Amino acid sequence: MGLLDKADSGRILFDGCPVSALNATDAARLRNELIGFVFQSFHLLSRLTAWENVALPLFHRGVGRLECRARAMTMLEQVGLADRSSHRPEQMSGGQRQRVAIARALVGEPRLILADEPTGNLDSATGLQVMGLLRQLNRDLGVTILMVTHDRDMARLCDRVIEIRDGRVLPQEEQR
């Protein structure tokens, strides 16, 4: 889904575009413009401040530094971290780092956020805060969030759950 691999079979359309026909450069551009990624282990660069980590996708698009900073600060404000914008990842808690990662995923105004175990490295209270933030951003910004989790408590907070077992999607009546 993140356009990192080619499908073995079938046809995949993303925003109406057949992605199997894309070369690596076009797939990377589409990823940068339409998809935001939130990882379990944050993947923040330790040498960059929070705002620089958030602005990274914009820098790759060639957006000027002042606009990058302004847009990054807006996103940090949305996730409640504007006051931590000059801090580096090691100066923040796990929950704060995950919120920086979420801001980075959203700064480019993607249509889709792919979240891989976004609460997996967090304690349960912080995990609930992150889930609340994701749900709020989904409602307020209209971005689709596809989240992978093994945590049934977090899954119960989602509007729609699709369970996959042994590589197959379970019919609704078999899902717990």
CATH homologous superfamily for 13-174? P-loop containing nucleotide triphosphate hydrolases (3.40.50.300)
Sequence-distant (≥ 6) Cβ neighbours of residue 132 within 8 angstroms: none
Pairing of strands 13-14, 144-148: unpaired
Helix (H, G, I), strand (E, B) or coil at 168: strand
| Whole-number Cα distances in Å, 143 to 105, 121, 136, 174 | 11, 23, 10, 28
**Tokens 């914008």 — which residue?**
85
Binned average pLDDT, 10 residues per bin, the chain of 176 residues: 82 83 88 88 94 95 96 93 97 93 92 91 86 89 91 91 89 68
Q: How many CB atoms lie within 10 A of CB 136?
A: 12
C-alpha of 98 from chain center? 10
Residue 132 token pair: 């609340």
Q: What is the pLDDT of residue 176?
A: 55
CA dihedral 126, 155, 120, 15 (to 10 degrees): -110
pTM: 0.84
Q: What is the pLDDT of residue 51?
A: 98
Burial class of residue 102 in the structure, from the number of CB atoms within 10 Å of its CB (0-12 exposed, 13-18 middle, 19+ buried): buried
Q: What is the pLDDT of residue 175?
A: 61
